[in-house]
């Protein structure tokens, strides 16, 4: 419920620095209480939390923290809710380089079917790209190509409306210059997979999407996250993730791609 409240109210208060700190606790504190999960599973509750970090002092001072929480709740076979939240913070020589929040929220109808509809709402911030606030929401449909105990492969198509508020008004695409915010309609193409290999000793998972604008030429965004989980014992696993992000419209002087490779631990709970 907290994620829905954030989505409704946050746009009017994102300029408040104290609110930024509050958001950190909204997303991070639940991690302490409780991660690749599927809304199509018949389990009532699934959660997966992963945490990666690095700290270095001396000639190079660096601090990096990335936390991610996925939770799925399915009170019946006809309805499921899934929320995926991540927080990234990095600083070099005590100067902030990244502080990003990303929350993806879905509602699914009849997720046990091979084809089923969904609604979604995303909110995010990105310090490095100087995105003060972004939200998009829309409707879509999922098709489960493969659904097996050890293999899951899904594709989806959705339509969304998006609005992004930037900290600056000069862009690499000059036609957007002077605008503090950019709004557009997008089509979104999804690919999701999870595969257990080597006798369930290794889990390979990926989550990719591409979002071309339907009304603005050369306005395209995409992201791919690929990772491996290696079980250590019970619910605890070693995890590594490679994240690639691309945006064609960025503030002038910024690169249009970012790549992050992380290592750490994940904890998965199912009931």
Tens of pLDDT, residue by residue over 145-193, are 998 888 999 999 999 999 999 999 999 999 999 999 999 999 999 999 9
Q: What is the pLDDT of residue 9?
A: 43
Q: Determine how many CB atoms are found less than 10 A away from the CB of residue 127.
A: 18
CB 71 within 8 A of CB 83: yes
**Is residue 216 a contact partner of residue 247, using CB atoms and an 8 Å limit?**
no
pLDDT score for 41: 61
Neighbours of 12 (CB within 10 A): 10
What is the four-CA torsion angle of 71, 75, 77, 78, rounded to 10 degrees?
Answer: -100
CB of 208 closer than 8 Å to CB of 193:
no
The helix or strand, by DSSP H or E, that contains position 5, with its residue range, turns out to be: helix 2-9
Q: Measured between alpha carbons, how far is residue 258 from residues 28, 98, 223, 232 in Å?
A: 23, 12, 10, 30
Q: What is the pLDDT of residues 30-62, one digit of tens each?
A: 333 333 566 656 568 888 888 888 888 888 888
Q: What is the DSSP letter of 46?
A: E
Number of domains in the chain: 1
The Cα 15–Cα 11 span in angstroms is 9
- Domain extent at residue 213: 2-270
CATH number at residue 130: 2.40.160.40
Inform me whether the pLDDT recorded for 29 exceeds 70.
no
- Find all residues with CB under 8 Å of 232, minimum gap 6, and list them: 238, 265
216-270 confidence digits (pLDDT tens): 988 999 999 999 999 888 778 898 889 999 999 999 999 999 998 888 888 877 7
Residue 93 has pLDDT above 90, yes or no: no
pLDDT in the model for residue 37: 63
66 falls in which pLDDT band (50, 70, 90)? Answer: confident
Provide the mean pLDDT of the chain.
Answer: 84
């Amino acid at each position: 419920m907290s994620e829905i409240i954030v989505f409704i109210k946050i746009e009017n208060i994102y300029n408040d620095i104290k609110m930024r700190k509050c958001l950190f606790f909204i997303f991070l504190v639940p991690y302490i209480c409780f991660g690749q999960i599927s809304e199509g599973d018949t389990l009532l509750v699934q959660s997966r939390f992963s945490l990666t970090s690095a700290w270095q002092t001396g000639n190079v001072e660096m601090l990096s923290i990335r936390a991610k929480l996925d939770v799925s709740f399915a009170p019946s076979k006809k309805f499921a809710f899934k929320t995926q939240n991540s927080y990234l913070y990095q600083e070099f020589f005590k100067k902030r380089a990244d502080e990003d929040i990303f929350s993806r929220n879905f509602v699914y109808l009849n997720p046990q079917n091979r084809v089923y509809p969904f609604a979604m709402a995303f909110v995010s911030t990105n310090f490095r790209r100087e995105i003060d606030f972004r939200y998009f929401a829309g409707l879509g449909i999922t098709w489960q190509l493969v659904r097996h105990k050890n293999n899951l492969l899904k594709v989806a198509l959705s339509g969304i409306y998006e609005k992004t508020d930037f900290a600056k008004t000069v862009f690499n695409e000059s036609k957007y210059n002077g605008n503090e915010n950019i709004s557009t309609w997008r089509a979104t193409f999804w690919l999701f997979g999870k595969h257990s290999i080597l006798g369930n000793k290794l889990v390979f998972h990926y989550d990719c999407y591409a979002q071309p604008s339907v009304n603005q030429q050369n306005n395209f965004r995409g992201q791919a996250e690929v990772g491996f989980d290696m079980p250590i014992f019970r619910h605890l696993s070693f995890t590594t993730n490679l994240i690639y992000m691309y945006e064609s419209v960025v503030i002038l002087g910024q690169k249009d791609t970012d790549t992050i490779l992380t290592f750490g631990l994940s904890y998965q709970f199912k009931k």
